[in-house]
């Protein structure tokens, strides 16, 4: 059995809304993420899915409770420090990339994340073959656009680049925040297939928020459902394999 990597214990999060009211989003939430877990995350709007990701990544502080990385308490660690071991791909293809820089320059930034380096042409050129092979995996022509500014890419190409940047160094935890939701069905399916291949091949620990029930059932070794700031369903292995779309629909209808 794989050992725990991230542990959230009795985590609650209170935020202030636009009219000054304090709202409890996560409520004494407990979650253990084991090494190698690929967890699909379901939940209705307002259930706390994005807040959970923001708390894990450090963008929103936990009001109470603790967050452990292996045996280290990171509850009060900044989001910047957590980027050393957490990568995230957002729903919006425009997030996570530098639009005025080329595809190759963006990949070099990701390759040298948390290191001191420069974008000198010589350093960039020595990685071009690697970047060509990497982007060719996407099957969407990204490998032909290494010298193109990211701002001129299609949404699908830009999201594929965001995914490659997030995984070019294997992070301890990969957060996929509805990363295929803004794409057309064909592009979404292509990126989801590549996601599954890379996560599986690298034994990458990952959480993926999705509203697509088929994707939630098809991918990953584990599925969790959030409702009203708590995890109300957590299935893995054979139990997850036996779940059907109808089971999930009935489960949500019971709320």
Per-residue pLDDT 10s for the chain (255 aa) are 579 999 999 999 998 877 888 889 999 999 999 999 999 999 988 899 999 999 999 999 999 999 999 989 999 999 999 999 999 999 988 888 999 999 999 999 898 887 655 566 667 888 999 999 999 988 888 999 999 999 999 988 999 999 999 999 899 999 999 999 988 888 888 899 989 999 999 999 999 999 999 999 999 999 999 999 999 999 999 999 999 999 999 988 888
Q: Where are the domains of the chain?
A: 4-254
pLDDT of residue 117: 56
pLDDT of residue 149: 95
Q: How far apart are CA 181 and CA 116, in angstroms?
A: 34
Counting every residue written for the chain, the total comes to 255
User: Could you write out the DSSP letters of every residue in 119-158?
Assistant: --HHHHHTTHHHHHHHHHTT-SSGGGGTTSBGGGS-HHHH
Element (H, E) at 50: helix 49-57
E-strand stretches of the chain? 4-16, 22-34, 38-43, 64-69, 72-73, 86-89, 173-177, 206-209, 222-227, 230-236
**DSSP 8-state class, residue 46:** T
- Can you give the pTM of this predicted structure? 0.92
pLDDT of residue 118: 57
Q: Where are the alpha helices (DSSP H) in 139-223?
A: 155-167, 185-201, 213-218
Going across the sheet that includes 4-16, the strands are 22-34, 4-16, 64-69, 72-73
Task: Please write down the long-range contacts of 67-74, taking CB distance under 8 Å and 24 or more positions apart.
Answer: 67/6, 67/7, 67/8, 67/9, 67/11, 68/4, 68/6, 68/7, 68/8, 68/9, 69/5, 69/6, 69/172, 70/3, 70/4, 70/5
| CATH classification code of 4-254 | 3.40.50.300
pLDDT of residue 120: 61
**DSSP 8-state class, residue 164:** H
End-to-end CA distance of the chain: 33
φ, ψ (nearest 5 deg) of residue 10:
50, 45
> Do residues 62 and 55 make contact, with C-beta atoms less than 8 angstroms apart?
yes
């Amino acid at each position: 059995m794989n050992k725990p990597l991230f542990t959230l214990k009795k985590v609650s999060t209170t935020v202030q809304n636009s009219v000054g009211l304090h709202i409890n989003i996560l409520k004494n939430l407990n979650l253990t993420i084991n090494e190698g877990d690929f967890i699909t995350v379901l939940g209705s709007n307002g259930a706390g899915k994005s807040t959970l990701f923001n708390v894990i990544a450090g963008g929103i502080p936990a009001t109470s409770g603790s967050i452990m990385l292996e045996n280290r308490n990171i509850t009060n660690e900044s989001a910047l420090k957590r980027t050393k071991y957490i990568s995230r791909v957002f729903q919006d293809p425009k997030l996570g990339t530098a639009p005025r820089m080329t595809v190759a320059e963006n990949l070099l930034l990701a390759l040298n994340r948390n290191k001191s380096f420069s974008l000198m042409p010589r350093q960039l050129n020595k990685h071009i073959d690697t970047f060509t092979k990497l982007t060719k995996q996407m099957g969407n022509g990204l490998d032909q656009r290494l010298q193109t500014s990211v701002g001129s890419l299609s949404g699908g190409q830009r999201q594929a680049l965001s995914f490659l940047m997030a995984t070019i160094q294997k992070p301890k935890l990969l957060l996929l925040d509805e990363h295929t939701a803004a794409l057309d069905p064909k592009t979404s399916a292509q990126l989801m297939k590549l996601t599954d291949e890379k996560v599986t091949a690298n034994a990458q620990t990952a959480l993926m928020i999705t509203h697509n029930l088929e994707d939630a059932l098809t991918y990953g070794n584990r599925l969790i459902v959030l409702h009203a700031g708590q995890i109300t369903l957590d299935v893995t292995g054979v139990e997850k394999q036996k779940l059907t779309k109808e089971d999930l629909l009935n489960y949500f209808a019971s709320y």
